[in-house]
A and B are shown apart, each in its own frame.
Chain A
Amino acid sequence: MMTQFVIRRVLYMIPTLIAVSIVTFLVIQAPPGDYLTTVVARLEAEGQYVDRGQLDALRERYGLDESVWVQYWRWITGIVLHGDFGQSLVYSAPVSDVIQERLGLTILLSVTTLAFVWAVAIPIGMYSAVRRYSVGDYAATFVGFIGLAIPNFLIALILLYVSYRYLGQSVGGLFSPEFVDARWNLGKVLDLLAHLWIPVVIIGTAGTAGMIRVVRANLLDELNRPYVVTARAKGLPERRLLIKYPSRIAASPIVSTVGWLLPSLISAEIIVSVVLSLPTTGPVMLRALESQDMYLAGSFLLVLSVLTVVGTLISDILLARLDPRIRYGRR
């Protein structure tokens, strides 16, 4: 049953991915004039010489003289078959080179943030629900609202100050200066972890505050359900009962947020990364959009959309594991 469900779900993903790629392609095509016009205009503006032969090669490469569908086909097969995302204007380098490491760091940052949000919000939310109207519940509510109310940049400034003043750590970035261009080794990983917590806390605070409310509300909904009373009437101890029955059912709506949490984390990441000058995708994405570097911008869009679709797939599979009604197509 589970295998069938997963296969079905993966098959459903294919049309979604195709749609996503078409939309991305349309975005790339959106600016007036074709890609080469932009290249030429840009080069000429910088007073550079434009090589006809090179232009013709590019025209051929992207099929710019052909119909839009042929262009789409060349673009997408280039990506799928050769990992060729096109050429970045701003960086004068293949897009794949520009985004590779940054994308890795973005994903690391987002996943860590998600883990942070859950690790903090779920226990606090559960406590708040079980001990409703206790001092602890009020404290969690209060701190949560503050977390929601303070803008990210303010938290960023405060944390930067704290880490600079009291921890003596270099401010901003994900690496200390001596590690920025270093190859990956244990020292660099540790250095990354020492820097990572700041953006994680900044990006995750609002999400954590919101998640505490969600967990509390969901669990409260379930706590007095008849099936909980039934389990209690069997003689099950309260703690085991809480984990086994209401939490499992209250978890479904939370798991289903994984899919859309990823894009919202990434958009929060853009602003914070610019402020903290993090070597993630955010600042590059912003720059690409500003300068109409459409292959670069489009590639980001495509990759992030695909990640979202994959995130949704993962959350759906988790949901089906949690709730048999989904496996059996009853809901």
Chain B
Amino acid sequence: MVESPPPLLDVRDLRTHFATDTGMVTAVDGASFSVPRGKTVCVVGESGCGKSVTGRSILRIVDAPGRVVGGSILWDRDGTGDPVDLATLDPGGPDIRKIRGDEIAMVFQEPMTSLSPVHTIGSQIAESVRLHTDLDDDAVRGRVIEVLGQVGMPRPESRYDAYTFQLSGGMRQRAMIAMALVCHPRLLIADEPTTALDVTTQAQILRLMVQLQAEMDMSVLFITHDMGVVAQIADEVVVMYLGTVVETGPTEQIFTDPRHPYTRALLQAIPRFGQRRAGRALSIIPGSVPDPYRRPGGCPFHPRCAQARPGTCDVVEPATVTVAERRDVRCVLAAEEVHS
């Protein structure tokens, strides 16, 4: 067996908390997963489970009063085995700023509100290039027009001077993707980039992202709650529940052999007949997501778990066990299988 190279990104026991006026929100509470080079990893889970906060924690752009309070975010850009721990950097300091937009870029859900309404898209994309390169004005402009063409923006020269309100939703999201890709990042974090778009445009944007990922040989951390999207684009899956990662593994294994009761419930919640908008149906899982201020003790899933064991699951936090290569499960049942 070939020794696999160190992952591009390795998140260990990440904790991001919001000290709000009404109490502490443990949005991410001990999440661990990694992103291999050149692969697409999908993060899935119900609304509010901490997917977005996890993505933002990596770039250290969590909104106040949120703070990364624990764990490590190991960023190994060149595979030297000597990673930078992003979790220890000052979120307002120059070190993380050099990485943002250059080595790790992000695409957000709402292209309308995520782009400035009063600046042209060209100037917003160019800003990234100016920050991270020494190119002169003409070269910057050329680079921006080139990347606009790459993301399939028609007539990129004239679209340089367009404002967001002059573009359709799909074109705005292409501009957003162009902005993220213009400095050729090693990792693209995409936070539900297609959720706000209509179905046809969704499919186009997804195809575009798959194609660009291959062309540019970058890794993608794709956040979604749509299992249909996962099946379509993911190499690996990270399943999150209440701020924790409950299961990770290669996409095919997750779909054919889910080990965690929550993953199974997620998969059962997908409607048949190939209906794609599966994410909407996730609430079919019995019970509802607990109040973020009062996380249940023991296994966070135990109030809704059909296989929960009283006396164990509601008392002890289950350990994360590695059941196969790149395959972790956080459940007592999986732990017993491995030990027996």
Contacts and interface: CB of A to CB of B under 8 A. Distances in A.
B15 interface: no
Given A226-B113, A230-B108, A234-B127, A323 B97 contact: no
Given A235-B100, A235-B101, A238-B92, A230 B117 contact: no
B25 to A, nearest CB: 16
Interface in A219-264: 224-227, 229-238, 245, 248-249
A9 to B, nearest CB: 19
B110 A226 contact: yes
A229 B110 contact: no
Contact of B131 (A229, A235, A323, A324): A235
Interface string B93-124: 00001111110011010100111111100000
Contacts of A237: 97
B165 A330 contact: yes
A230 B100 contact: no
Contacts, number: 75
A229 B61 CA distance: 7
Nearest to A327: B163
Contacts of B61: 229, 232-233
A13 interface: no
Nearest to A225: B113
A226 B163 contact: no
A235 B165 contact: no
A234 B131 contact: yes
A105 interface: no
Interface residues of A, number: 23
A225 B108 CA distance: 12
| Majority DSSP secondary structure for residues of A touching B | helix
A245 B115 CA distance: 10
Given A322-B118, A324-B118, A229 B63 contact: yes
A231 B165 contact: no
B16 interface: no
A325 interface: yes
Nearest to A245: B116
Given A233-B105, A234-B101, A325 B165 contact: yes
Interface string A294-331: 00000000000000000000000000001111001010
Contact of A229 (B98, B99, B101, B108): B108
A204 B50 CA distance: 48
Contacts of B128: 234-235
Interface in B25-80: 56, 59, 61, 63-64
Interface string B259-290: 00000000000000000000000000000000
Interface of A: 224-227, 229-238, 245, 248-249, 322-325, 328, 330
Interface of B: 56, 59, 61, 63-64, 92, 97-102, 105-106, 108, 110, 113-119, 127-128, 131-132, 163, 165-166, 176, 179
Given A235-B102, A236-B127, 12 more contacts: A225-B113, A226-B110, A226-B113, A227-B113, A227-B116, A232-B61, A234-B128, A234-B131, A235-B100, A235-B101, A324-B163, A328-B166
28 contacts: A224-B64, A226-B110, A227-B117, A229-B61, A229-B114, A232-B61, A232-B100, A233-B105, A234-B101, A234-B105, A234-B131, A235-B97, A235-B99, A235-B101, A235-B102, A235-B132, A236-B131, A237-B97, A245-B119, A249-B116, A249-B117, A249-B118, A323-B118, A324-B118, A325-B118, A325-B163, A325-B165, A328-B163
